[in-house]
Amino acid sequence: MAHHQSAKKRIRQDEKKSVGNKYYAKTMRNALKKLRAATDKEAATADYPKVASMIDRLAKKNVIHKNKAANLKSKLAAHISKL
């Protein structure tokens, strides 16, 4: 258990960040599932920039790794092109 005030504060801050990061990561995963489940190419093409932007923002904030973001966007683009 932390004894210093700064360590206790850091624990509180990390818990808040963790909750926020989980929310944004889950939101991203839901958007990915929705896009992967799309069967209409026009609708998927229209949604792709929004999802890609969300992925880029999470990578910028270090919620997900930048290489994971690149892999996700690449696979989504390949999936849309196959529709």
Residue 50 in this model has a pLDDT that exceeds 80: yes
Q: What is the value of pTM for the model shown?
A: 0.84
How many alpha carbons lie under 13 Å from residue 68 in its C-beta half-sphere?
13
Percent of the chain with pLDDT strictly greater than 70: 100
- Angle (CA) 36-68-82 rounded to 5° is 30
